[in-house]
Structure 1
Amino acid sequence: MHSTEQSLKAAEGLLAARFGGSPALTNPEDLGGSGASLVLRCRVSPNPFLQERTIVIKRLPKVEEAESADDAPVEFDADELALIREIVAYQYTNTLPEKVRPGPLLLAYDVAERMLILSDAGDGANFTEVLQLPDASERRSAVRKLGRALGRMHAASFGDAASYQTLLKRQCQKFNINPGTVVDSDIDIANLINEGIELVRGNNIEIDETVLKFAREAMERQGRPDVRSFTPFDLTPDNIMVHKQVVFLDFEWASFRDIALDVACVIVGFPQDDTTPALTDEECTEFLTAWTAEIGHVWPTARDADRVAHVLMATLIGWAFISLNMLHQGQQMSRKATRRVIYAEEPAQSAPRDLLEMLPEQASDMATTVDAINRFALRFDNEDFEPVVRFTQRLKRALARQGGHPMTSTSANR
């Protein structure tokens, strides 16, 4: 683990090399990084070359270096590949206009030091706190802000995947690595959904053909360039800060993906996080109205409420199978769980097949996701959603036997 003193010294050198002068960093505040990562907020001494007065240092834990021949190619571990993805994501978002920029500015980085230096996003409330507010009107206001922020980000980046790929190729050339290596280290969403389907089948839980069609559509959308925008993917409540506008943090899993993934993720209550409830029906309506208002001019489908509901249902079903698969792998639905998921061409036949081998809190989190999908399906007069209702009710009964009950809001009807 890097010490605070060592990290401050390394960051000072990195800022000096990037901006000039002799910046001094003081008053370090530990912001609590994910896993063993170190995240510090520091004050910056006055510097004519650097306008920021506070900055955030993010540093991944160091690893033991293996001995290798001088002419051997440099190998990057999973954390370093994730860091390169995050660098590219920040470089891309830094090119967006300020009013639609989703996160902090990337000021400097050093892959060898496993370090990023970012502008300070401030001290706004995170979405975990927002979703626990007793005042329903405050929550609805924050949910609308989230919908607008996601919509603006999706609209501003829609159809711009080529720019992102150019930045990725430049980073890979810089470190003499194949771009495919970085891409292969990313999340394979379609494979996660497929493994989730096989897991449910292996536990003799009936999946209606209509539900399978929705799941296959979610898988197929992952390969479609016409539905992609920049998305953080790791949309957990503690990665979302609410100021005058919403700020997204942590882009380790950011890329160009199906825009419906972010939207469905919010609706089902952030399935990577087990601390917050799903949105109420009223909050869901506020959120979707705000999002569609921002995205409609570049994605005309958003103006068709029935079509949006169909797309979101496919993605919600996809999230259900993703979540079940991740829990089956033994992972808490928390930040960075996906990094430890093992992908395979075929589901591991030697793995335990009992879907219900999970802790009560895991079952409760999964029940929240399933309940949100069930409520979403019941809101629409659509015969294709009826099998979804039956499927989610079967899953809810199975999860209830494990002590899994959906998290509820203090003021909402669920």
Structure 2
Amino acid sequence: MVRAAEALLSHRAASPVTLADPEDLGGSGRTVVVRARVGANLLSMDRTLVIKALPADEDPRAFHRELASYKYANALPNESRPGPQLIASDPEQRLLVLTDLGHGRSMESLLSGTDVVETSHAVSAWGQALGRMHAATVGGEGDYLALLRHGARGSDNLDILGEAAIRAVAEAPAQLTRLGVDYPDAVCDRLSAACALFADGDHRAFSPSDVGPENILLNDDGVQFMDYEWGGFRDAMLDVAYAVVTLGTALTPSLAAHRGELQTAMIDAWRSEVVGIWPSLGHDRECSRKILTTRLLWTWLSTAWMLPPDDDGLAVEATHISPAGYVHDWALHTNDPRVLVARWTALAAAADRAGDAVIGEFATRLGAALQHTWLG
């Protein structure tokens, strides 16, 4: 992998480039990610670079979407660029060479601390960075799709998480019946409306897709989103709700007592960056309704992944997403039933604050049913 990156960079520089001291950065389980020191070369480079390689049996669409996403993001203004820059790529070997964001501090570590003020500042910075990215990419979907089509024949605008959400919503009637929870038409309509936002919506912008805390680093340049795999365009309400849901999962017990405040700080920071281009979000009731709708979808999807398959084998499992099991790589995914019960409790509380009785009552009933089923 490192030797392949050397060859790629040497070809690009038209002179030998050496890489040394590779450091394993972990990757997602399917990918290999290393940091390497750049030796003497004639091409001006950072002292270290990050190399990412996807396995040969990986769905090729994942690599081509990630490559198109990095190329698209490279063209954004520095202040709106959401993460590392692409230095070089080799589609045949599914290899990416990226700028090194440095060590910094992970959002996960901040959320697992005890300092409410420090965490609130970090969460606000997260929301602002998300909003700046969204504001800078409105109207850019055509450019992104052109990059995607150029990358490889057969590449498409598939949103793998969107497909999982649609399947989970289709499964909802049977799953809720087994749990003994009514499925009001109004909730069905809200879930269907949220699913439609992957392909349409009033607030379309670029998204790295998994904008949870596991993929966020804070360094001297601010908040950085580290993983563009399956990036693309969708309604920005999906992103801010995803961030809010996964934010709540990562909190320590001392910070969990401030979950509502931190989630509000995230939303307010995001709104401050996007309200100029989407004025309707300046209306509290309208904005709250849209975020609650998308939070409902993410909370249901994370729950559906934990529920047993139905008699027809239609349950939403990792094998239905990809043979490689993409599900377990998402910040949204959890195997802890306590986390899921807490998500429904938090959603019910947010709905009550917003005066949304439909989602509030449904979240309360479902949370209680899951508490009884899983935790006794």
Q: C-alpha distance in 1, partners of 2:201/2:239?
A: 16
8 Å CA contact retained: 2:38, 2:45 = no
Query: Is 1:394 the counterpart of 2:372 in the alignment?
Result: no
Q: How does 1:273-292 map to 2 (within 5 A)?
A: 275-276=250-251, 280-292=259-271
How far 1:117 moved relative to its partner? 0.8
Q: C-alpha distance in 2, partners of 1:292/1:310?
A: 14
How far 1:393 moved relative to its partner? 1.5
The AA in structure 1 aligned to 2:133 is M
Aligned to 1:38: 32
Q: How does 1:18-29 map to 2 (within 5 A)?
A: 18-29=12-23
Q: In the superposition, relative to structure 1, how do residues 276 and 135 fare at CA in structure 2: closer, same or farther (>3 Å)?
A: closer
SS in 1 for 2:202: helix
CA RMSD of aligned residues (A): 2.6
How far 1:403 moved relative to its partner? 4.6
Query: Is 1:342 the counterpart of 2:317 in the alignment?
Result: no
The AA in structure 2 aligned to 1:100 is S
The AA in structure 2 aligned to 1:400 is Q
8 Å CA contact retained: 1:199, 1:325 = no
8 Å CA contact retained: 1:214, 1:313 = no
Aligned to 2:192: 216
SS in 2 for 1:257: strand
Q: Which moved more, 1:150-159 or 1:369-378?
A: 369-378
Aligned to 1:206: 182
Aligned residues with identical type, % of pairs: 31
8 Å CA contact retained: 1:190, 1:222 = no
**Count of residues in Structure 1 that have an aligned counterpart in Structure 2:** 354
How far 1:199 moved relative to its partner? 4.0
Q: In the superposition, relative to structure 1, how do residues 186 and 230 fare at CA in structure 2: closer, same or farther (>3 Å)?
A: same
Aligned to 1:139: 119
Q: C-alpha distance in 2, partners of 1:190/1:38?
A: 27
8 Å CA contact retained: 1:124, 1:243 = yes
Structure 2 counterpart of 1:377, from 336, 348, 351 = 351
Q: C-alpha distance in 2, partners of 1:146/1:340?
A: 29
Q: In the superposition, relative to structure 1, how do residues 18 and 33 fare at CA in structure 2: closer, same or farther (>3 Å)?
A: same
Aligned to 1:170: 150
The AA in structure 2 aligned to 1:397 is A
Moved over 6 A (4+): none
Q: Which has the higher helix share?
A: 2
Unaligned runs of 5+ in 2: 310-315, 323-333
Structure 1 counterpart of 2:158, from 183, 186, 191 = 183
Aligned to 1:368: 342
Q: TM-score, normalised by structure 1?
A: 0.79
Q: C-alpha distance in 2, partners of 1:339/1:396?
A: 21
Aligned to 1:257: 234
The AA in structure 2 aligned to 1:373 is L
Structure 1 counterpart of 2:93, from 109, 113, 122 = 113
The AA in structure 2 aligned to 1:164 is Y
Query: Is 1:266 the counterpart of 2:243 in the alignment?
Result: yes
Query: Is 1:301 the counterpart of 2:283 in the alignment?
Result: no
Unaligned runs of 5+ in 1: 1-6, 64-76, 331-337, 345-359, 406-414
Cα distance per residue 1:186-233 (max 9 Å; x no partner):
742551342342343442421223222221221233332532100112
How far 1:125 moved relative to its partner? 1.2
Q: C-alpha distance in 1, partners of 2:141/2:105?
A: 31
Q: TM-score, normalised by structure 2?
A: 0.87
